[in-house]
Amino acid sequence: MEIKEILKIAIDELNEQLEDDEKVEFSENTKFIGSNACIDSITFVTLISIIEELIEDQYNKTIHLVNEKAFSQKRSPFYSIETITAYIEDLLKEEV
């Protein structure tokens, strides 16, 4: 399964926990962190956890998205669906 598909499933699962006015849209314009973020911090952490669980199920690999590498990058890898996708793909390549 492609990482982007996993993110779509993760967002669907996240939306089950959210109120109607908090639902997250799976869109390239959706921002997850920063001043234009569509989710609050607790929702962000929950999303990260769901993504990690799905990666483990699909790829049989345990990855921790919030790690030293995430802090060391100039632009947060958690900014958008595109950047999260690229970040996870990099992490999975490193695992090989």
Partner 1 sequence: MIIIKGKFVNIREVDINDAKFILSLRCNNKKSKYLHKTEYNLQKQIDYIKKYQTLNDELYFIIESKKNKPIGTYRIYDLKQDSFCIGSWLMKDNCTPFEMMEGEYLCKNYAFEQTGFEKFHFDVRKDNKKVIKYHKMMGAQVVAENELDYLFECSKEDYLKNIKKYLIIQ
Three-class secondary structure of residue 71 per DSSP: helix
Using CB under 8 A, which residues numbered 4 to 63 contact partner 1?
Answer: 16-18, 22, 33, 35, 40-46, 48-49, 52
Three-class secondary structure of residue 80 per DSSP: strand
- CB of 64: closest distance to partner 1 in angstroms? 6
Residue 96 found at the interface with partner 1 (CB under 8 A)? no
| Residue whose CB is less far from partner 1, 30 or 49 | 49
Q: What are phi and psi of 95, to 5 degrees?
A: -75, -20
Residue 72 found at the interface with partner 1 (CB under 8 A)? no
Size of residue set near partner 1 by CB under 8 A: 21
Which residue type, as a one-letter code, is found at position 75?
R
Contact residues for partner 1 (CB under 8 A)?
Answer: 16-18, 22, 33, 35, 40-46, 48-49, 52, 64, 66-68, 71
